[in-house]
Structure 1
Amino acid sequence: MNDSVDASPLPDLTFARTPAPDLSAAASDLRMATFRLARRLRAQRAVDTMSDGQFAVLAALTVHGAHTLGQLADRERVTAPSMNRTVTLLENAGYLTRTPDEVDRRKVTIDLTDDGRAVVDETVRRRDAWLEEALSSLAPDEREALARAAEIMRKMAER
């Protein structure tokens, strides 16, 4: 019988004793960082007096085209009366139009004006410029990490 002890190192099993990552704390950290970044981005806007909800309507019309009031309300998850107030404000400011449907006069199509499109374009330009400036101050590995995180966040948002 061989009384010698095997000198080969034992596998590191410390991970088996380490508790699972605290997903609650990670979720809280991610939420706070996301909200803080979103707040900084929202501050970059072409029209300082425009609310986030008003801009969201202009952006939705830019991305998805003309809508009815009900479609806009559903898209933005607000009531029709609330959306009507928002649309009226934007219409009075010259950012969108309401056009009665030629077939069904009860139906009204809401679409952007050139001024509304310009507000969206300028706001997007300002937000992208702010982000580009912020990214330029980061190290390459940090930018790579954010690029990976953006893809993961997009994936999470699509759930």
Structure 2
Amino acid sequence: MTRTTLDTAALAHDLRLAVMRFSRRLRNQRVDTSVTLTHLSALSTLKRHGPMSPGELAAHERVQPPSMTRVVVALEGMGLLSRTPHPTDGRQVVLGLTGPAEELLAAEGRAREAWLSGRLQELSPEKRAVLRDAAAIMDELAGG
């Protein structure tokens, strides 16, 4: 292996661990722990992509349809999802967010951003500038 390959592999290792730890800390800044991370992910997908069928939601979340059915039933039971008839296929329904779901997602986002903002305030302006650049690079790496 070349030195560049070793350096890249070491960076990949360190970055993977740092991102995992950071992600775990960020996920722990929860408003409502009765809603699971799986539930929040499904709700966030609907927020980002708009109403869709349960099958489409399962595909976006990369889970099997039976698993998504359980998530949908739970979210409906909490009053966070609405079902409407599919406009062209009478056998299907379209899932959408309810007002309480929109409020929950906004509150969850505010809680995480407040925590992160507080942590960023602890850093020097130079380190915040580095993180601003790193955020753009990470978005590029993720294909964003």
Report which of the two structures shows the higher radius of gyration computed on alpha carbons: 1
Taking the aligned partners of 1:114 and 1:102, their CA distance within structure 2 comes to 22
Cα drift, residue 120 of structure 1: 0.3
Q: Deviations over 1:24-56 (max 9, x none)?
A: 221111011101111111111221122211101
1:19 maps to 2:3: yes
Q: 1:49 aligns with which of 28, 34, 39?
A: 34
Question: SS at the partner of 1:22?
Answer: helix
Mapped pair 1:117 → 2:98: no
Sequence identity percentage: 40
- Stretches of structure 2 lacking an aligned partner (at least 5 in a row): none
Taking structure 1 as the reference length, what is the TM-score of the superposition?
A: 0.84
Match of 2:13 among 8, 28, 36: 28
Flag structure 1 segments of 5+ consecutive residues without an equivalent.
1-17
CA deviations 1:64-104 (Å, max 9, x no partner) are 11010111011010001101110110010111111122542
Return the offset for 1:144.
0.5
Structure 2: distance between partners of 1:87 and 1:41: 25
Question: Per-residue deviation at 1:62?
Answer: 1.1
- C-alpha RMSD of the superposition: 1.5
Which of the residues 117, 135, 139 maps onto 1:132? 117
Higher helix share: 2
For the residues of structure 1 that align with 2:67 and 2:133, how far apart are their CA atoms? 38
TM, length-normalised to structure 2: 0.93
Superposition pairs of residues 76-91 of structure 1, within 5 angstroms: 76-91=61-76
Q: CA 1:149–1:102 in 2, change beyond 3 Å: closer, same or farther?
A: closer
Q: How many residues align?
A: 142
Post-superposition CA distance 1:1-32 (Å, at most 9, x none): xxxxxxxxxxxxxxxxx932522221111011
